[in-house]
Structure 1
Amino acid sequence: MIRITTIIRGYSPSTSLYVAPWIVRSTYPAMIICVSPSGLPSIGAPKCLFGIWLKPWAKCRAWLFAGAIGVAAFPAVAQTQSEEPAGGEVRKNERQLPAVTVTAAAYDDVTEPYPGGQVARGGRLGLLGNNGVMDTPFSVTSYTSQRMEDQQAVTLAEVLKSDPSTRFTGQIGGVTDSFYIRGFPINEGNLSEVAFDGVYGVSPNYHLFTEYLDRVEVLKGPAALLYGMSPNSGVGGVVNVVPKRSLVSDLTRFTLDYASDSQVGGAVDLSRRFGEAREFGIRFNGLHRQGPTPLDNQKSRAEVGALSLDYRGERLRTSLDLIEQYQWVDAPTRPFLMAPGIQVPSAPDGRRNVTQPWAWWKSNDVSTLLRAEYDVSDKLTLFVNAGGTRTDVARFSEQTPTILNAAGDTSALPQNWKFQVNRSSFDTGLRAKFDTGSVKHAVALQANLYNDRIANARNSGTTVLSNIYAPIASPEQVVSAPQNVPKVSASTLSSVALADTLSAWEDRVQLTLGVRHQEVKSDNFNTTSGAKSSSYDKTAVTPLAGLVVKPWDNVSFYANYVEGLSKGDIAPATASNAGQVFSPYKTKQQEVGVKFDSGRILATLAAFRVTKPSGQLNGTVFAIDSEQRNQGLELALSGEAYRGIRLIGGVTLLDAELTKTNSAATQGNRPVGVPTVMANLGAEWDLPWVAGMTLTGAVNFTGKEYVNQANTQSVPGWTTFDLGARYKTKLYGKSTTIRAGVMNAFNRKYWSGVASFSTISLGAPRTVFASASVDF
């Protein structure tokens, strides 16, 4: 049996604290290490606080977790104590230690929070590394952990609610975080397209929980040169999550949270630095949350353990991230398909759940990433990253239900599935700086390799009927789980990229030029014989040109030309050119914009045009002569408009069109799931007459979206309001933050989004959140 340790600084073995019964409900025991005010660890004190319980892992990971968490207590002995006995006497059983001078390097300035604390000053640009917003020839927003905590965001989908160019297309109560960015889908399917610290193939495959996230960075538009081709061919943009790493100051934070109907959770966030120069760091985040959700018949349970180790030396910097998460959902929801020839019925109450009460979903993700950077000199840095993810899914629930008529009747087929998804990623390269005359160069060279393998199998039950307004419970079916889970597909993405940023006139003019050579290999397999049923092996070259001009310190004009890559098609058997293999499709973007930094408000205004080709049958020939064009204007802003008043949000106006199709019925129509207007505005107000009290609110708007390419089915636009408050104070000398909020405060009934495969999702009902965080 594996024991995971929780460390609480400032409590001695004699301290007696209340332990809520729901926290300790587990078959997995815990060992507790308490750190007394003296800084010395006390092991095995059952009254210290609480334990985090996780299922047994492989021995190596278990010992690493237990050992690393135990080590986290020891740096405390090197800290200067805040409570000294009179006259400098040493208490009995305490150890007097010499003072330690802290010289560990801090994080890059460009990732520091902007005034207001909701976004960072910059973020990662893949191959190019970290860069400030004002020096970036793209539209980029980096949401901070402080923003996520104040939102009480549970998963990635809730974090990106604030982004005016991004819309969540998954189903509330479902198990995936899928999005549209600038009108193009990303993260749909079984291969996560969310980069983890700049690397594909590492992030958990379905939900990403915010407990282990330090920043969520959104780069809008294609980015094949910066990140390489995405695993599922998404081209709308890149979502990159940055994990929490050890802080300069030690942290021990415990959070209790609640969400309606009665979801209750507990989370711990521990951070320590140690070593002679505090060069070693450790951060642990643990979560347990379970209970009924706002949806009928649905219960959910999540368990997360995330460990980050790092070393920050004079020249060498390394980090190791380990994440394991489990999720169980009873009656998981699915988006809806529409039967042809009918109008989309009005949205039902968001609490209604057509999934059968006996349906369920279980998933387990294990993610690992090892990073290293070494400064050969002040001008040359070598880097290497290696990691991967394993995902196991078992579920017995309906496939996507189909709405059959205007009355809201549905039909769905229950299936017992098993999935296994294995992904790995490796990249290495260098970043160098040098001058040629008055021009400065920042060169980046990278080679990367990504692999994935999907295995799945299913057994089907019998069709069940229900209704979106009055769900019908059918008798529970007994369908056996698949005994064998054969490999169905495997892919390899490999590439080499080179980029150079040329700067002149005191960095007021910066030109970035780059090129990536991308190879795409994929195989599909016969699930019975295991033989290859089809193969794909093609290459493509994709460029980048970006320009930043800063006539003033607080204004940047920028422009870019960049491409995205999608896997090409193989002509179908019905075509006269059956079997022809097409090179990767190239999505092309042209963008211009201006950025303004007042010191309190950061704003970006962009105009862009994106064209995405695809293949289609034209007569009897399959050819690349289909095209979607999205163009628009985008305004994003954040910051502290006035002392104590913070804003975040923006608006996106989209003109999207199917510019080339093989049918007069679809030519010139709007693409599926792309609204004309998306707008968000969030505000916070620190009440001047109540110290520590903040009122919060947000309004979210999305315009009408079409469900099919013929534009005969659509969902109407919608507006929702979120309200909340938080209060920061000290309880018994401990910093405490209490938060409460309500999402969809007026309980709007609405269809929240349309995915690229023409499914519609039901919006969340009114949902109440509350949490309390205490720093020990």
Structure 2
Amino acid sequence: MRPTAFRLSALTLAVLAGTAQAQAQTSAQNDDGSYNLDAIQVQSSADASKEGLSEVFAGGQVAEGGKVGILGTQDVMDTPYSYTTYTEQLIEDQQAASVGEILLNDPAVRVARGFGNYQQVYLVRGLPVYSDDITYNGLYGLLPRQYLASEFIQRVQVFRGANTFLKGAAPGGSSLGGAVNIVPKRAPNQPLNQVTLGAQSGGQAGLAADFANRSEDGRFGIRLNVARHDGDTAVDGEEEELSMAHIGLDFREEVFRLSADLGFQKHRVDGGQPNITFLSGVPIGDAPDADESIGQPWTYSDSNDIFGTLRAEYDFADNVTGWLALGARRGEENSSFANPDVSNTAGDYTAGRFDTAREDHVLTGETGVRFRFDTGSIGHQVTVSGSSYELKSDNAYGLSSGGVAGNIYNPVAVSRPANTFFGGDLDNPELTARTRFDSVAIADQLSMFDERLLITLGGRYQQIKTDDYDYDTGVRNTETSYDESDISPTVGVLYKLTPSLSAYASYIEGMEKGDRVGQNIGAVNAGESLDPYSTEQGEIGLKYDGGNIGGSVTVFRSRKPEAGLNQDNVYEVLYDQENTGVELMAYGNLTRDLTVLGGVSYLDADADGNDAIGSPDTQANLNLEYRVPQMPDLAVDGRVIYTSSQYADEANDQKVDSWTRLDLGARYLIALSDDKFLTLRGRVKNVTGEDYWASAGGYPGEGYLTIGAPRTVLVSATLDF
């Protein structure tokens, strides 16, 4: 960390205490009463790596680097790809409750919903990342599938762009335009004892506790997080309940490092806002009042997950390091939905009841070895890695054909209709899907000219195998089974023009399962399995690290295959959706007291001559935080989020209006004693109370709409002792 001067105040001490959660530090007082922070040495590491956590950038809201898949922990300035790592400090100061709320800080990301449920979906560069395709320390499938509470998270890493070479193909078939990785919490180098009490408008209250300690020699660390939230939300008629617990362990010696996690989450939503679809030919109307739920009171989503990981790393020699990671999850979901189909501009709708039951069992793991050596004047970092993922999913459903009618602008409760169609037993779901993903990857990062020129070369062989089973008989469906493989290459070049300015260019691919052509669509090649679809992406950019201010400019273009029936009734790839964009990012300290985080994203998502569903051409964020000089224990911040208009249908007849949201926050720190501090935080989301459609789509080919969050007031008090 670069030496930085701070005023001595309660706010300063809190910032130092928060920073100590990732690093040890010493300080010396200057003649003017300010303090200089000396260089630090990271001891704990979430992924049991020699490098540990990347240092926090000036301002504390993002990190200087992060884990880049098979390449390991890297500095942003050394990597020919685009990504940002958001820190625990940002999460706490914004009182962000979930992954989706954290990612609203990124101009290339917007948050949508799953198809027919409350699952969070993250649209990165106009393409979805399903919440069950985010990774946990690099492993797929371990986190709760629908929603993840922020109390689990130390950092959130957002990778922008295709990424199959780096992380493997996402089992859910998303992550073609980006990826999300969660870094779990670890014990800092100083003891941590923290309790937070919070509430929000509507009546919901929450209590969270965060405790951590390390052994005297610093080798062993333990961190425990527990939280409980319950009550009505700011949406009238909506109730949310969450319970979570997480324990993180780590151990490190000179040549051996070990980390482990065990987590539990129970999340339930009653009467939540549903997804809303305007039927074909019906113009998109104004968004209804966001502070009143359209959802029927008998609708709900209830999920329970328990998961664990174990990761070890060993130095066989000074230049040879190997690692092994294993993980498992068991998840249960039960739900009942009634998502409106709007039939006219007045907002009248019909809906049917749709119940689901699901049980998931996931086993996943990866192993690898990394070699560092020189050939003449060229340095090499060669990595070989293998990964495996297996999901067994038990499912059942029940549905009614209609039975619910109403108006989105005048919602009323109706009786729950009886289900008339069933698949399986809702009380005892049986195996309906089995997924197996295996891959092997190799990478070589070459460094030349005193490490000013960095070249990344690599490829990943990916095997995809899926089987479906009948809901009622359990018989394997040979017509839908899939077993194919492909190779995803990459090449990247980065040149450091100056110590603070890097230029780069890269090519990388994304991969998803190809279609198995069904028997009921009239295709002459029915029963054929199409090769995995490869999304190709080229990118160039500049990255800047000025010590206090950092940022980037990125230009990219990707091509995503789209399949369908051609004029000869052959099911094949018909065209490529072409996404072309420019992204600008900025972060850090503009002045001693003013911190900035934000940027703008321009996107042209061309789908056979039309704009792709749910792809705004402009998204912009600006977050400013000001530490009041006259009151050094007080900080205030404001965030503006802008999203331009987008379309909800392939023909571009249904246009969704643009929206702008303003959030304001403040925090004040009180020193109760030399080692006890009370942080008071307040925040108002959507200050102006704008009613808006936050997103369109989130599932390929679907244009359902999600209502944006209403004006919401949040307050909390955190005691550090």
Same fold flag (TM > 0.5): yes
Instruction: Pick from 199, 206, 213 the counterpart of residue 272 of structure 1.
Output: 213
> Any idea what SS the aligned residue of 2:139 has?
coil
Letter in 1 for 2:305: D
Distance between the aligned counterparts of 1:456 and 1:172, measured in 2?
Answer: 16
1:122 aligns with 2:65: yes
1:105 aligns with 2:54: no
1:240 aligns with 2:181: yes
Distance between the aligned counterparts of 1:278 and 1:677, measured in 2?
Answer: 48
Letter in 1 for 2:121: S
Distance between the aligned counterparts of 2:115 and 2:474, measured in 1?
Answer: 36
Letter in 2 for 1:710: A
> Any idea what SS the aligned residue of 1:463 has?
strand
- Give 1:424 shift: 1.6
Is contact 2:43–2:52 with CA below 8 Å preserved after alignment?
A: no
Distance between the aligned counterparts of 1:627 and 1:103, measured in 2?
Answer: 48
1:429 aligns with 2:375: no
1:650 aligns with 2:590: no
1:633 aligned residue: 582
- Give 1:477 shift: 5.1
- Give 1:359 shift: 2.2
Distance between the aligned counterparts of 1:379 and 1:559, measured in 2?
Answer: 28
Residue ranges of structure 2 left out of the alignment (5+ in a row): 1-39, 46-50
Is contact 1:172–1:761 with CA below 8 Å preserved after alignment?
A: no
1:705 aligns with 2:650: no
- Give 1:241 shift: 0.6
Instruction: Pick from 165, 171, 179 the counterpart of residue 225 of structure 1.
Output: 165
- Give 1:484 shift: 2.9
Distance between the aligned counterparts of 2:428 and 2:709, measured in 1?
Answer: 37
2:561 aligned residue: 613
**After superposition, what is the alpha-carbon deviation per residue over 1:422-469, rounded to whole angstroms, capped at 9, x for unaligned?**
222111110110010111101111011111122211223562112211
- Give 1:415 shift: 2.9
> Any idea what SS the aligned residue of 1:148 has?
helix
Distance between the aligned counterparts of 1:466 and 1:366, measured in 2?
Answer: 38
> Any idea what SS the aligned residue of 1:127 has?
helix
- Give 1:483 shift: 3.1
**After superposition, what is the alpha-carbon deviation per residue over 1:461-485, rounded to whole angstroms, capped at 9, x for unaligned?**
5621122111111124566972331
Is contact 1:202–1:368 with CA below 8 Å preserved after alignment?
A: yes
1:737 aligned residue: 679
Is contact 1:654–1:677 with CA below 8 Å preserved after alignment?
A: yes
**1:407-422 → structure 2 map (5 Å cutoff):** 407-422=346-361
1:153 aligns with 2:96: yes
1:543 aligns with 2:489: yes
Distance between the aligned counterparts of 1:478 and 1:438, measured in 2?
Answer: 74
1:48 aligned residue: none
Letter in 2 for 1:413: G
1:495 aligns with 2:446: no
Is contact 1:615–1:623 with CA below 8 Å preserved after alignment?
A: yes
Letter in 1 for 2:112: T
**After superposition, what is the alpha-carbon deviation per residue over 1:282-335, rounded to whole angstroms, capped at 9, x for unaligned?**
001000010100112111110000010111111111111111000122113321
> Any idea what SS the aligned residue of 1:258 has?
strand
**1:317-328 → structure 2 map (5 Å cutoff):** 317-328=257-268
TM-score normalised according to structure 2 size: 0.90
Distance between the aligned counterparts of 2:673 and 2:237, measured in 1?
Answer: 40
- Give 1:109 shift: 6.6
Residue ranges of structure 1 left out of the alignment (5+ in a row): 1-101, 660-667
Q: What root-mean-square deviation, in Å, do the aligned CA atoms of Structure 1 and Structure 2 show?
A: 1.8
Letter in 2 for 1:599: G
1:206 aligns with 2:146: yes
- Give 1:639 shift: 0.4
2:517 aligned residue: 571
Instruction: Pick from 711, 714, 721 the counterpart of residue 769 of structure 1.
Output: 714
1:52 aligned residue: none
- Give 1:233 shift: 1.6
- Give 1:700 shift: 0.5
> Any idea what SS the aligned residue of 1:392 has?
strand
- Give 1:626 shift: 2.3
Distance between the aligned counterparts of 2:332 and 2:114, measured in 1?
Answer: 21
Instruction: Pick from 411, 425, 438 the counterpart of residue 377 of structure 2.
Output: 438
Distance between the aligned counterparts of 2:164 and 2:111, measured in 1?
Answer: 22
- Give 1:106 shift: 4.8
**After superposition, what is the alpha-carbon deviation per residue over 1:549-586, rounded to whole angstroms, capped at 9, x for unaligned?**
00210000011000000100112321011111111100
Is contact 2:441–2:461 with CA below 8 Å preserved after alignment?
A: yes
Instruction: Pick from 282, 304, 309 the counterpart of residue 342 of structure 1.
Output: 282
> Any idea what SS the aligned residue of 2:272 has?
coil
Aligned identity (percent) is: 36
Greater Cα shift, 737-746 or 530-539: 530-539
- Give 1:240 shift: 0.4
Distance between the aligned counterparts of 1:328 and 1:715, measured in 2?
Answer: 30
Letter in 2 for 1:348: P
**1:13-412 → structure 2 map (5 Å cutoff):** 105-107=43-45, 108=51, 111-170=54-113, 175-187=118-130, 192-234=132-174, 235-274=176-215, 277-398=217-338, 400-412=339-351
2:705 aligned residue: 760
Distance between the aligned counterparts of 1:103 and 1:753, measured in 2?
Answer: 43
Runs of 4+ that moved beyond 4 A: 171-174, 476-481
Distance between the aligned counterparts of 1:612 and 1:141, measured in 2?
Answer: 24
TM-score normalised according to structure 1 size: 0.83
- Give 1:416 shift: 3.0
- Give 1:219 shift: 0.7
The structure-2 alpha-carbon separation of the partners of 1:697 and 1:350, relative to structure 1 and needing over 3 Å to count, comes to: same
Letter in 1 for 2:137: D
- Give 1:177 shift: 1.7
**After superposition, what is the alpha-carbon deviation per residue over 1:26-77, rounded to whole angstroms, capped at 9, x for unaligned?**
xxxxxxxxxxxxxxxxxxxxxxxxxxxxxxxxxxxxxxxxxxxxxxxxxxxx
Letter in 1 for 2:64: R
Using CA pairs under 8 Å that are at least 6 residues apart, name the structure with larger relative contact order, 1 or 2.
2
Greater Cα shift, 323-332 or 235-244: 323-332
Letter in 2 for 1:588: E
Is contact 1:696–1:723 with CA below 8 Å preserved after alignment?
A: yes
The structure-2 alpha-carbon separation of the partners of 1:689 and 1:172, relative to structure 1 and needing over 3 Å to count, comes to: farther
Distance between the aligned counterparts of 1:230 and 1:535, measured in 2?
Answer: 18
Letter in 1 for 2:71: L
> Any idea what SS the aligned residue of 2:527 has?
coil
1:474 aligns with 2:414: yes
Is contact 2:237–2:272 with CA below 8 Å preserved after alignment?
A: no
Size of the aligned set, in residue pairs, is 662
**After superposition, what is the alpha-carbon deviation per residue over 1:697-753, rounded to whole angstroms, capped at 9, x for unaligned?**
011000111001000112111111011111112125511211101000000111000
Is contact 1:504–1:510 with CA below 8 Å preserved after alignment?
A: yes
Instruction: Pick from 457, 463, 470 the counterpart of residue 519 of structure 1.
Output: 463
> Any idea what SS the aligned residue of 1:113 has?
coil
2:543 aligned residue: 595
Distance between the aligned counterparts of 1:604 and 1:681, measured in 2?
Answer: 15
Larger of the two Rg values belongs to structure: 1
1:748 aligned residue: 690
Distance between the aligned counterparts of 1:497 and 1:257, measured in 2?
Answer: 45
- Give 1:213 shift: 0.5
1:71 aligned residue: none
Letter in 1 for 2:156: V
Is contact 1:222–1:562 with CA below 8 Å preserved after alignment?
A: yes
Is contact 1:110–1:131 with CA below 8 Å preserved after alignment?
A: no
Is contact 1:168–1:177 with CA below 8 Å preserved after alignment?
A: yes
Greater Cα shift, 451-460 or 541-550: 451-460
Distance between the aligned counterparts of 1:333 and 1:457, measured in 2?
Answer: 23
Distance between the aligned counterparts of 2:352 and 2:116, measured in 1?
Answer: 19
**After superposition, what is the alpha-carbon deviation per residue over 1:648-697, rounded to whole angstroms, capped at 9, x for unaligned?**
010001111113xxxxxxxx000000011000000000011112101110
Distance between the aligned counterparts of 1:264 and 1:110, measured in 2?
Answer: 32
